[in-house]
Chains A and B, each alone.
Chain A
Amino acid sequence: MTRASDTPMTAHRLGLIAVAVLLAGLVAVPVAVGDQFVYHIFITICIFAALSTAWNIVGGYAGQLSLGHAIFYGIGGYAGVILVNLGISPWIGMFAGAAVAVVAAIVVSWPCFRLHGPFFALATIAFLEVFRVLALHFRELTGGATGLMIPLKIGWEWMVFRERLPALLIAFGMLLVCLAVAWAIRSHRLGFYLVATRERESAAKAAGVGTVKVRLMAVAVSAALSAMVGTFHAMYLTFIEPESMFSLQFSIQIAMFALIGGIGTVWGPLLGAMLLVPITEFARGALGSEAIGLHGFVYGVVLMLVVLFLPNGIMGLVHRFTAAPGKTVGEQAAPVAAAPRSAEPREAGREVMRVEGLQKHFGGLHVTNDVGFTLREGEILGVIGPNGAGKTTVFNMLSGFLKPDEGKVSVLSPSGEWQQPVTPGDFASIGVGRTFQIVQPFAAMTVEENIMVGAFHRHPHVGDAREAARETAHRMGLGPYLNAEASSLTIGGLKRLEVARVMAMEPRILLLDEVMAGINQTDVRRAVDLMLSIRDTGVSIIAIEHVMQAVMSLSDRVIVINSGQIIAQGDPHDVVRDAHVIEAYLGKDFTHA
């Protein structure tokens, strides 16, 4: 165990040393060589690495593939140059550009978040085209197609130098800022929330993540950083025009470096830029105009090869060599550490949830018909019914994932008022946690990180959340797998992870959707004990289950749903003897058999 935790630590330290060496090299090599052209290459590396790192916050962490990031770069460039022409230092212009870029980013992204994957990419391309055309059109401001020159004012104040070294230092400084911001986001709550939202939006919502809010924050930060780099690059280039500042090819390149280095990782964009920029700049330098198109051709081919053979980029390759072999071992059957139960039956407490007259239609299908019931504090309510009876639809309405056509769901808030939550976020914050029938692990995260996404709900700081997550993991029998990738768990393990993530939110009402399906008999018994112990801490549980044995031993009360209607409810033993129930499950003949 100690060895197992040693290995990643040393690997981690080695990685940091490697990064430090690479970064130092970015300054040391050009200074040592002293050649103008080498300086230029390294400045270009810094600029592309910084832009790509900023892009990665949106494209990688949040998984929103922007192919229009040149919008923000261009805004920064134009803001800087226009203000310099008015006699304002680019150090100020940089922030003005960032502010405009943030506004643009929010205006551009907010309506686009409902679009996924290629459609988000298309929308960002369209926005980029609009910006380019507008930049060409408003000549008084941008100089139109003829472009803008910067006045030749030299010195730190104007970011323009005769020598290359100061420019390199500024570019390098910007790269460091971008890397630091990217690293900080990735290792704090926002980063966890972004990755969780990217991996499984519904599960993230159920864990109380404001998915739109965190994405907007990511986009705003990314846009601001891109704009600041854009300002500097404009000063470095001394001339800007719409075709180069708002260029689709440029946007694609920025994204490409991140993808080749390792999308969604902190250091990937840096590696991608360091690898590709020198190749292409040397080719351009050595072959000159003969080779126009060569670097683009190489980029395109490398990009195709990377997606085909190295989908996690260079960082994926690095991980493959450093990862400790055989990280998950055997069956995930660690005992569930259930607390011993109090022997005497408890009285159910006050009502905590009221469900009244729920109706839902999908097209012509009446999937929920007048469903109503109440849930008391510290009660386990079993929900049974044949497949396709509409149980999960009811759950979706009890957690804000579906809006009922009619009827209402009221929840007693901790302060004792009845409230009617609407969105998944409302439900989460009032203390309703849910699992999903089809397990929704955040595949790119470890077991511990998965549970932390839930734990952040009550513990905003990483340290506290980690501690809470570990505690929950041990309680759920997931202790030995904290550092395993969630995707490596067995189906039983995934079911427990699903429950653990919700438990880490410390909910007052727990909605469990078939958490026992597909797990073995021993685990069913353990899971029953665990649920009873959760119930005994005062949590109310609504559980959809098919495993009858579990339903019978677990539930204080049972409701039976068939064809979207409640056909029976009450004591579990009475309910299973009900003729309607038998008919719903087994068909009419059976009642006479």
Chain B
Amino acid sequence: MDTFLQIVANGLMLGGLFAIVAVGLTLIFGIVKVINFAHGEFLMVGMYLSFLLSTGLDVHPYLTAAAVAPALFVLGALTQRLLIQPLMSARDEHVQIFATVGLSTALMNLALLIFGADIANTPAHGVRSQVMLGEVRILTGQLWVLAAAVALVIGLQLFMKKTRTGRAIRATAQNRAAARLMGINDKFIYILTFGIGAACVGLGSSLIAPLYPTSPTIGTYFVLIAFVCVVLGGLGSIPGAFFGALVIGLVDALSGFYIGSDLREAVVFTIFLLILILKPSGLFGTRMNLSHVSP
């Protein structure tokens, strides 16, 4: 029983990690309608920045978020302005896909070129120490990640519902032409949204850096799982992505223990495929229609 509780706790903590990566991804998809294949590399860039800042200035990696999140905001905004915006009106979807795939490839290999294939260990500053919650052992850093993910989801929801800019973002996503007729600058909204989405993963990267060794390919692992969470929670839904991430975290932990740790990913991706094919609106259901079925 203790083992089971421990596995569930591990799964939830893992879910928090996935959530903090998935939230930005689902935001960008929901509003800009672009799947950011480079999202994992945004995380990787953020983790390297966090590593460099915290080792260079000898500060707690969490403090680097103050610089990393704005830096990622700029990276995201530039991506939208320079790479996606010129392609928004492209008739063929493949150009948008390849644009972010190209960015992903370029960033990952740039990191290889600069840092080599070796891993970089961000100093932990105590976040890898364990706390006991009843019978269950948890890393303090993992608790912080989960707490940050919850705060981020609530904060984003409030921003989207309660502020004028948030409403403008939702309006643009729901009906772009009508939003323009209201006086909303849709291009600016997209740049802002992409920036926010990237800043979310920037915040996440400062929290993840002390827990995971940083490497040029770290993004691929996280982003593929993040895609699963996003689809599971219903594309574009921020709370959906959060709960999707918790579910996937649990699945990952439980299947790792009961089926075999080398098959965890196979289980996760099989679930992903089943959802994609059988219930594309996600477990928690949204209006988003990803097959664009024509009449």
Contact B101 A67 (CB under 8 A): yes
Contact with B along A116-132 (1 / 0, CB 8 A): 11110111011101100
Contact A300 B269 (CB under 8 A): no
- Contact residues in B for A21 (Cβ distance below 8 Å): none
Contact B106 A301 (CB under 8 A): yes
Contact with A along B256-283 (1 / 0, CB 8 A): 0000101101100110110011001000
Contact with A along B89-103 (1 / 0, CB 8 A): 011111111110111
A-B contact pairs, 13 of them (CB 8 A): A123-B276, A126-B224, A126-B228, A137-B263, A248-B220, A256-B98, A263-B94, A292-B113, A297-B106, A299-B106, A300-B105, A307-B99, A396-B295
Question: A133-B262, A307-B87 are known contacts. Are A118 and B97 too (CB-CB below 8 A)?
Answer: yes
Contact B291 A115 (CB under 8 A): yes
Contact with B along A292-335 (1 / 0, CB 8 A): 11111101111110011001000000000000000000000000
> How many angstroms between the C-alpha atoms of A216 and B95 in the bound complex?
23
Contact B110 A129 (CB under 8 A): no
A32 to chain B, nearest CB (A): 33
Question: A259-B94, A297-B113, A300-B109 are known contacts. Are A125 and B277 too (CB-CB below 8 A)?
Answer: no
Contact B94 A63 (CB under 8 A): yes
A277 to chain B, nearest CB (A): 16
- Contact residues in B for A122 (Cβ distance below 8 Å): 35, 227, 231, 276
Question: A259-B98, A304-B83, A401-B295 are known contacts. Are A118 and B93 too (CB-CB below 8 A)?
Answer: yes
Contact B105 A137 (CB under 8 A): no
| A345 contacts partner chain B, Cβ-Cβ < 8 Å | no
| A112 contacts partner chain B, Cβ-Cβ < 8 Å | yes
- Contact residues in A for B216 (Cβ distance below 8 Å): 293
- Contact residues in A for B270 (Cβ distance below 8 Å): 130
- Contact residues in A for B97 (Cβ distance below 8 Å): 65, 117-118, 121
Q: Which of B101, B117, B277 contacts A112 (CB 8 A)?
A: B277
| A356 contacts partner chain B, Cβ-Cβ < 8 Å | no
| A337 contacts partner chain B, Cβ-Cβ < 8 Å | no
| Contacts A117-B93, A297-B113, A300-B107 supplied; 18 other A-B pairs, CB < 8 Å | A118-B35, A119-B291, A125-B224, A126-B269, A127-B273, A129-B266, A134-B266, A201-B294, A256-B105, A263-B94, A293-B108, A293-B112, A297-B109, A303-B98, A303-B106, A307-B87, A308-B87, A311-B92
- Contact residues in B for A117 (Cβ distance below 8 Å): 93-94, 97, 292
> How many angstroms between the C-alpha atoms of A311 and B86 in the bound complex?
11
A140 to chain B, nearest CB (A): 14
Question: A296-B105, A297-B113, A300-B103 are known contacts. Are A126 and B83 too (CB-CB below 8 A)?
Answer: no
- Contact residues in A for B106 (Cβ distance below 8 Å): 296-297, 299-301, 303-304
Contact A126 B94 (CB under 8 A): no
Chain B residue at smallest Cβ distance from A443: B91
> How many angstroms between the C-alpha atoms of A122 and B294 in the bound complex?
21
Question: A116-B291, A123-B277 are known contacts. Are A137 and B99 too (CB-CB below 8 A)?
Answer: no
Query: Which 4 pairs across A and B sit closest by C-beta, in order of nearness?
Result: A300-B106, A293-B112, A296-B109, A303-B102
Contact with B along A253-265 (1 / 0, CB 8 A): 0011001000100
A545 to chain B, nearest CB (A): 20
| B104 contacts partner chain A, Cβ-Cβ < 8 Å | yes
- Contact residues in B for A420 (Cβ distance below 8 Å): none
Contact A292 B276 (CB under 8 A): no
> How many angstroms between the C-alpha atoms of A255 and B94 in the bound complex?
11
- Contact residues in B for A127 (Cβ distance below 8 Å): 269, 273
Interface size on A, residues (CB 8 A): 53
| A82 contacts partner chain B, Cβ-Cβ < 8 Å | no
A195 to chain B, nearest CB (A): 12
Chain B residue at smallest Cβ distance from A289: B116
Q: Which of A67, A118, A130, A307 contacts B269 (CB 8 A)?
A: A130
Contact B113 A294 (CB under 8 A): yes
> How many angstroms between the C-alpha atoms of A263 and B97 in the bound complex?
13
> How many angstroms between the C-alpha atoms of A255 and B102 in the bound complex?
11
> How many angstroms between the C-alpha atoms of A401 and B292 in the bound complex?
15
Task: Write the residues of chain A forming the contact surface with B, with a CB cutoff of 8 angstroms.
Answer: 59, 63, 65, 67, 111-112, 114-119, 121-123, 125-127, 129-130, 133-134, 136-137, 201-202, 248-249, 252, 255-256, 259, 263, 291-297, 299-304, 307-308, 311, 396, 401-402, 443
| B57 contacts partner chain A, Cβ-Cβ < 8 Å | no
Question: A118-B97, A293-B113, A401-B295 are known contacts. Are A299 and B273 too (CB-CB below 8 A)?
Answer: no
Chain A residue at smallest Cβ distance from B113: A293
Chain A residue at smallest Cβ distance from B116: A292
| B111 contacts partner chain A, Cβ-Cβ < 8 Å | yes
> How many angstroms between the C-alpha atoms of A449 and B270 in the bound complex?
41
| B293 contacts partner chain A, Cβ-Cβ < 8 Å | yes
| B119 contacts partner chain A, Cβ-Cβ < 8 Å | no
Chain A residue at smallest Cβ distance from B274: A111
Question: A116-B93, A300-B107, A307-B87 are known contacts. Are A129 and B35 too (CB-CB below 8 A)?
Answer: no
Contact A111 B277 (CB under 8 A): yes
Contact B109 A123 (CB under 8 A): no
| B178 contacts partner chain A, Cβ-Cβ < 8 Å | no
> How many angstroms between the C-alpha atoms of A504 and B105 in the bound complex?
46
| B290 contacts partner chain A, Cβ-Cβ < 8 Å | yes
Q: Which of A134, A292, A301, A443 contacts B112 (CB 8 A)?
A: A292
> How many angstroms between the C-alpha atoms of A134 and B259 in the bound complex?
13
Chain B residue at smallest Cβ distance from A202: B294
Chain A residue at smallest Cβ distance from B104: A300
Chain A residue at smallest Cβ distance from B106: A300
Q: Which of A63, A126, A291, A301 contacts B273 (CB 8 A)?
A: A126
Question: A292-B117, A299-B105, A300-B106 are known contacts. Are A308 and B99 too (CB-CB below 8 A)?
Answer: yes
B290 to chain A, nearest CB (A): 5
B3 to chain A, nearest CB (A): 23
Q: Which of B86, B93, B112, B260 contacts A296 (CB 8 A)?
A: B112
> How many angstroms between the C-alpha atoms of A299 and B96 in the bound complex?
16
> How many angstroms between the C-alpha atoms of A256 and B220 in the bound complex?
18
Chain B residue at smallest Cβ distance from A293: B112
Residue of B91, B227, B266, B280 with most partner-chain A CB within 10 A = B266
Question: A125-B224, A402-B295 are known contacts. Are A307 and B113 too (CB-CB below 8 A)?
Answer: no
- Contact residues in A for B93 (Cβ distance below 8 Å): 65, 116-118
Contact A303 B101 (CB under 8 A): yes
- Contact residues in B for A65 (Cβ distance below 8 Å): 93-94, 97
Q: Which of B86, B109, B262, B272 contacts A293 (CB 8 A)?
A: B109
Contact with A along B65-88 (1 / 0, CB 8 A): 000000000000000000100110
> How many angstroms between the C-alpha atoms of A114 and B266 in the bound complex?
22
> How many angstroms between the C-alpha atoms of A125 and B105 in the bound complex?
15
Chain A residue at smallest Cβ distance from B231: A122
- Contact residues in B for A252 (Cβ distance below 8 Å): 101, 105
- Contact residues in A for B35 (Cβ distance below 8 Å): 118, 122
> How many angstroms between the C-alpha atoms of A63 and B120 in the bound complex?
40
- Contact residues in A for B110 (Cβ distance below 8 Å): 293, 297
- Contact residues in A for B111 (Cβ distance below 8 Å): 293
Chain B residue at smallest Cβ distance from A201: B294
Contact A123 B294 (CB under 8 A): no
- Contact residues in A for B290 (Cβ distance below 8 Å): 115-116, 119
> How many angstroms between the C-alpha atoms of A308 and B110 in the bound complex?
20
Contact A133 B263 (CB under 8 A): yes
> How many angstroms between the C-alpha atoms of A125 and B224 in the bound complex?
9
A572 to chain B, nearest CB (A): 28
> How many angstroms between the C-alpha atoms of A292 and B110 in the bound complex?
9
A137 to chain B, nearest CB (A): 5
- Contact residues in B for A303 (Cβ distance below 8 Å): 98-99, 101-102, 105-106
Contact A307 B98 (CB under 8 A): yes
> How many angstroms between the C-alpha atoms of A292 and B118 in the bound complex?
12
- Contact residues in A for B224 (Cβ distance below 8 Å): 125-126, 129
Chain B residue at smallest Cβ distance from A308: B86
A207 to chain B, nearest CB (A): 14
- Contact residues in A for B231 (Cβ distance below 8 Å): 122
Chain B residue at smallest Cβ distance from A119: B290
> How many angstroms between the C-alpha atoms of A304 and B266 in the bound complex?
31
B271 to chain A, nearest CB (A): 10
B107 to chain A, nearest CB (A): 7
